[in-house]
Structure 1
Amino acid sequence: MKLSKLSYLKLILFSLIGALTVTLSILGYIHYQTINDLKRITGNHAELSDEKLSLDEKLASISAELTRLQNVDQKLRNDELEEEITSIQKTYSSAVNSYESLLKLREKTTKTQSFDELLTDALVYLSKRNYASASATLADLDKQIKAEEDKLAATAATAIPANVPVNNAPPGSGYSRQQVATEIGNYMVSLVAADLSSTRVIVDTASEGTCGNDCPVLSLGDYVSRNGAFAGINGSYFCPAEYPSCAGKTNSFDTLLMNKNKVYFNGDNNVYSTVPVVIFGNGWIRF
């Protein structure tokens, strides 16, 4: 079929319009995508700029800290640390000694509230690392405890009943309560005298051998009764559980001793001992 010239021109025109429409659509899509890509790139650039700024600030802070550390006198710093450690050790040791002195005072009186408060103040200072104030408070506490001990001793000396005789010689035998006169005053004592030719003196222990911690203990009355004795006296002082310095060696004692079963105690830690010794034999005693 033959097309007229006019129809042919119309066909060409429609084809061009269609092609132009497709081209414009493609260009529009490309423009849209380009705009979106530009927005995304711009956003990423802003984020990267913020991150760079944050990193720059961190690097500047680290650099400043490094410079500060480089400028610190390490010897001075070590000396300060050593001084602080020494202060801690010294003040802690003083606190332990003061506390143990306070425990001994409580055995003689219940009026220790003011001393307890001073100890509490010292511990608070220690917790705040105020070692100077802690040391001063502990020194004051020790001074007051000593004054109270002296006061109690003086009171005890003046409280001796009037009917207790003054006698600096022991009784010939048996039990006696008497005053012993000294340069600093009279003291009341209780004495038991016995003839060694007819009296056996034994050394008894709660443990069967040397004990370093959590050692068994007995009262003086228990020792007397289990041996059928008529009198007894405490021997070595042991480390009470209440004392902080006794941690790890509760109820132990360090002095040399041989008990009635001929068991030798504390030989390892008394190789070069200079502690005085009392030896009981058959009818004799030696110091």
Structure 2
Amino acid sequence: MKNLPVLNSLKFIGSTALFLVVIAGLVYQHVRLNNAEKSLSVIKASQTNLRENFSDALFEDHLKVTNSMVSGAKLTSLQNELETLKAKETTDEKTIKDVYDSLIILEQKINRNVKAGLKSPDLTEQKDSWGSFLIEKDFASIMTGINEQTALLDKDYSVYLTKLEQTRVAASGYSYQTVQTERGTFGAHVIKIPLNEIKVKTVSASSGSCSNDCDTKSLADYVKGSGGFAGMNGSYFCPPDYASCDGKVNSFDFALYDSNDGKWEHKDALTWFETGLITFNGSTPSFYKETSDYGGGGVTAGISNYPALVKDGDIVVDEDELTSFQKDIKGPRGVIGVGGENLYLAIINGANVIDAAYVIRSLGAKHALNLDGGGSSAMYINGKYIVGPGRSLPNAIVLTK
């Protein structure tokens, strides 16, 4: 029992300690609560202030963003406008140059037409309006006006050239004709010209009778070398690309009077009856269905070939005497004929030799002789080929004034 006072002392100390701990805890909680209340008051005050000033803050931020956007948009717009101005300046420079170049061309065409004897357009009114358009930078209207005037000038000049060519063609007697016959319809390049207006020449590239590797010329060279204005290919010959010619190159065996040399080539062929012959003594023609009928009279031109096509207006070609090339192949066919005081030179398209006889008769020839055709076909008038040039030729027919 002696230990009871000590026990009671320990109980008192323990109770006191517990009280102090509880009191301390309550004080701590009170302080925390007080601080929390202060913090809450601050937060509430901030919230109140934020609520009161929130719209102003947002508007200021909006202004900043808007000002930034406007500034950026203005800068972009200025940049775009600058680029547009630069592009427009370049475009205007190019357009002005185009207008200037077009005016130069217009002036050149006016001068061209005046030299041709054509009426010069009065552009006084147009130039005044073009000046106004230029001040207004209405380049499109200027170009439209210039182009319209240029087109009118070109149209007038085109009509002039057509009439000029028609005059030249009429002088040469040339025409392209569609000819209807008993054997069908054929296109033909035709020179029909009065014999008293021209001289007919038959010419050779060789200086004498040649049997192989003979000289040749283009038809244009024959015409120019003989002082002519027109010409056509002559008789059959052996071109280099024909295997059937048995080694003979550019040779022809038919009689031909060289008008430039004044003598016959292959004179022995004048005795042949298989070939036909047409001769000229000045403007007087003579025709022989068989070359052997030629009596040796004076001539200034003469060419033989086969077959004779027309005599005294009758078709005289014998189909049984034709080669397969002559009767079975449709192609260009050359013909020389006379009739009604006219000379006829013709290249008939898509025809065999018999067709050619009917065509030349329909054109007006009373006498006609077949000539070479195919790849040798050539007709030359007033400095240009109407047909051809075709192969280089050992002989040709030339017309001079």
Q: TM-score surpassing 0.5?
A: no
Larger radius of gyration: 2
More helix as a share of residues = 1
**Bigger relative CO (Cα 8 Å, ≥ 6 apart):** 2
More strand as a share of residues = 2
Q: TM-score range by the shorter chain?
A: 0.3 to 0.5
